Amino acid sequence: MPLLTARTAAAELGVTYSTLKRWIHRGSLRTVRTEGGHHRIPAGEVERMLAASGTPPKRRAQPAPGGVLVALSGRNQIRGVVDEIRTDGLLAQVRLRIGDQTLTAVITRDAVRELKLRRGDEAVAVIKSTDVMVGRSTIAARNREDS
């Protein structure tokens, strides 16, 4: 029987990660410890908890054939709508509209084609921590200097 991470088990049970960790520490949920000390929850234990709550267990999705990406480890994911795509040579500039803000990313032209991105499509920007810059508006900086 497959072992699930705490986050995956929490999602299947419809509870927060914190709640699931409390259940583990209280002993309400049986787990298996990895060599590194991490908790893994047997799929049968999740099904037991769902049955006890009267919720039918969800069917697990089978892995997509052909190496299709179905999940990312990146935590900083921002949903938006493709506003514009400009291609030039091997690269493409993709502009996402996120509320009243715009996010611009440069990706390969092949990636745009493989993702089948079109203007008006919903897309997700995944921001890796090593590539994030932090700035402050000049108005905020000026107000701070005045006080």
* Residue-range domain boundaries for the chain: 3-53, 77-131
For the segment(s) 3-53, the CATH number from 3.30.470.20, 3.90.25.10, 1.10.1660.10, 1.10.10.10 is 1.10.1660.10
Q: What is the 3-state secondary structure (H, E, C) of 66-82?
A: CCCCCCCCCCCEEEEEE
Cα separation, 39 vs 46, whole angstroms = 13
| CB atoms near residue 93 (< 10 Å) | 14
Instruction: Yes or no: say if 125 and 107 are a contact pair by the CB < 8 Å rule.
Output: no
Q: CA angle 39-4-25, nearest 5°?
A: 30
Q: For position 133, what pLDDT does the model report? A: 56
| Separation of alpha carbons 41 and 3, rounded Å | 5
pLDDT at site 52: 78
How confident is residue 144, by pLDDT bands cut at 50, 70 and 90? low
Report the percentage of the chain scoring pLDDT > 90: 22
Radius of gyration of the chain from its Cα atoms, rounded to whole angstroms: 22
- Which one is the CATH code of 77-131: 3.50.50.60, 2.60.40.10, 3.90.550.10, 2.40.50.100? 2.40.50.100
Q: Are 42 and 3 in contact (CB under 8 A)?
A: yes
pLDDT range class, residue 26, cuts 50, 70, 90: very high
pTM of the model: 0.43
In angstroms, rounded to a whole number, what is the distance separating the alpha carbons of residues 58 and 51? 11
